[in-house]
Structure 1
Amino acid sequence: MKAQGLWELRLYEMLPRRLPDMHHQFAREVPPLFERAGVPAPLAYWDCFAGPMTAMLAYILHWPGLDERMAAWGRFYADPQWWKQYEDAHGGEQMLERSHVLVLRASPAWSATPTGAPLHTGLHELRMVDLLPQAAEAAHDALAQVDLPCIEAQGAQVLGLFDQVIGQHLPRAVALLAWPDLATREAAWAAHAVDPAVQAARASERKTHGTALVGSAEAFLLRPAPYGARWTGA
């Protein structure tokens, strides 16, 4: 059954030498403050080793709704212990270049079907996919029915497909994938580029809409952090 609620994906562009300090903070110091404020334990943490933001720490939260999210973050940022930790961790130096907060909901086209297979933990991929604005729902259908089955057949595990509701560059779909290794991922996307079913779908979309439903994608290759992993999919 598809989970309800909202997901919050937080991306922190770091100064590279300070990334270990941020991992330490989230692994050891932040969890008690999250619990006290009512911020749910993140489902996963990652750092990025390839993509538009390479010195990046990311994590994802699942919320019942926006009201709960706003109330919990309000309590967190009002906690003086957080600001003490913040000052201690920074030590008077910059850690963060910038942060990005995306609010997501499960794609209307995504139906999570547990396979029972062990989760690939060596390599994850975050893909932010631009969609045709006047046909965003049909674009989600195309991703769920054409593109994702193609790469699943090539070895991917689809952790979730989401509709971005808050953030830049809307409309966008956000996909989280798991791969056994980099070679499998590279081969899968090469196969996707020439797959007859994918090509036929894009041709049909261009005939109907004048262009493809699924546009360009930003891809981030992620290493799951060894702490706090609770991911079970969307």
Structure 2
Amino acid sequence: MSAQGFWELRLYEMLPRRLPDMHHQFAREVPPLFERAGIPAPLAYWDCFAGPMTAMLAYILHWPDLDARMAAWGRFYTDPQWWKQYEDAHGGEQMLERSHVLVLRPSPAWSAAPSGPHLQAGLHELRMVDLLSQAAGAAHDALVQVDLPCIEAQGAQVLGLFDQVMGQRLPRAVVLLAWPDLATREAAWTAHAVDPAVMRARTNEHQTHGAPLVGSTEAFLLRPAPYGARWAGD
């Protein structure tokens, strides 16, 4: 898949008992409406089982440009069939607590195109990493040269590294990872915390920039939904 364009990551915080209803809607009812509006089929869907937002449904879209995105969502939200589906699905009750929309582009430091989540089944991880504001480019370099190689050596598969261009708490990097299992993930991040190369990098960053380039992180553990993943053939 091309590394050009933009990605849109949408996160829906659900009422826990309504999460199955939302999955049903996106698996069966929404795809024809997306196609009619010109919204590309999502590359993957997930639900979250650990992190700051549980009972969360997430999906990601790939857009050629932001004008195409705006036009397609405009068509979708003026489609009467969508509003009928919306009312039928909700049944007069609340489903959604709140939604978050992040617009991303590939990290300027990362040369690989985003890979598909199917490449390693099981556990996926979404990490939102705060970056030092006065040195965001150097922070992306540090992730590519220091942090990601460390966790890849411990069993992670990097699905994508992105620069968040719209959303809250900028500048921020967004990382998508796949793990074979939870134990591997836990051991990898424990090793990362004490890795000599990582520790040296943070010390050097503090000396050069006055603070580490990579700041606090929100991490979400995700289960791929059994529908929608298509990065392999995109």
Structural RMSD (CA): 1.8
Letter in 1 for 2:65: G
Measured after TM superposition, the shift of residue 233 of structure 1 is 11
Aligned twin of 2:27? 27
CA contact (8 A) 1:135 1:213 kept: yes
Residue in structure 1 matched with residue 230 of structure 2 by the alignment: 230
| Separation in structure 1 between the aligned mates of residue 168 and residue 181 of structure 2, nearest angstrom | 30
Indicate conservation of the 8 Å contact 1:2/1:111, yes or no.
Answer: no
Does the residue aligned with 1:152 lie in a helix, a strand or coil? Answer: helix
- How much has 1:184 moved relative to structure 2? 0.2
For residues 97 and 80 of structure 1, do their structure 2 counterparts lie closer, same or farther at Cα, with a shift above 3 Å needed? same
Q: Give aligned pairs, total.
A: 233
Flag structure 1 segments of 5+ consecutive residues without an equivalent: none
CA distance in 2, matches of 1:55, 1:233: 29
1:2 and 1:106 in contact (8 A); partners too: no
Per-residue Cα deviation, 1:28-50 (whole angstroms, up to 9, x for no partner): 00000000000000000000000
Contact 2:14 2:98 in 1 (8 A): yes
- Please state how far the C-alpha of 1:231 moved relative to its aligned partner: 2.7
**Kept after mapping to 2: 8 A contact 1:112/1:233:** no
* Aligned partners of 2:114 and 2:160 also within 8 Å: no
Give the corresponding residue for 2:186.
186
Q: Kindly, what percent of the aligned residue pairs are identical? A: 87
Q: Which residue of 1 aligns with 2:11?
A: 11
For 2:125 and 2:84, how far apart are their aligned partners in 1?
34
C-alpha deviations, 1:121-179, integer Å up to 9, x for none?
10000000000000000000000110000000000000000000000000000000000
1:90 matched to which residue of 2? Answer: 90
- CA distance in 1: counterparts of 2:231 and 2:53, whole angstroms: 22
Alignment-derived partner of residue 76 in structure 2: 76
Q: Against the structure 1 CA distance between its residues 166 and 114, is the aligned structure 2 distance closer, same or farther, given a 3 Å change threshold?
A: closer
| Structure 1 runs (4+) greater than 2 angstroms displaced | 231-234
Tell me the equivalent position of 2:122: 122
- The answer to whether the Cα contact below 8 Å between 1:159 and 1:233 also exists between their aligned partners in 2 is no
Q: 1:49 to 1:180 in 2, by over 3 A?
A: same
Tell me how far apart the structure 1 counterparts of residues 208 and 229 of structure 2 sit (CA, whole Å): 43
Is contact 2:164-2:174 (8 Å) kept?
yes
CA distance in 2, matches of 1:167, 1:20: 27
SS in 2 for 1:125: strand
Give the whole-Å Cα distance in 2 for the aligned partners of 1:232 and 1:174. Answer: 21
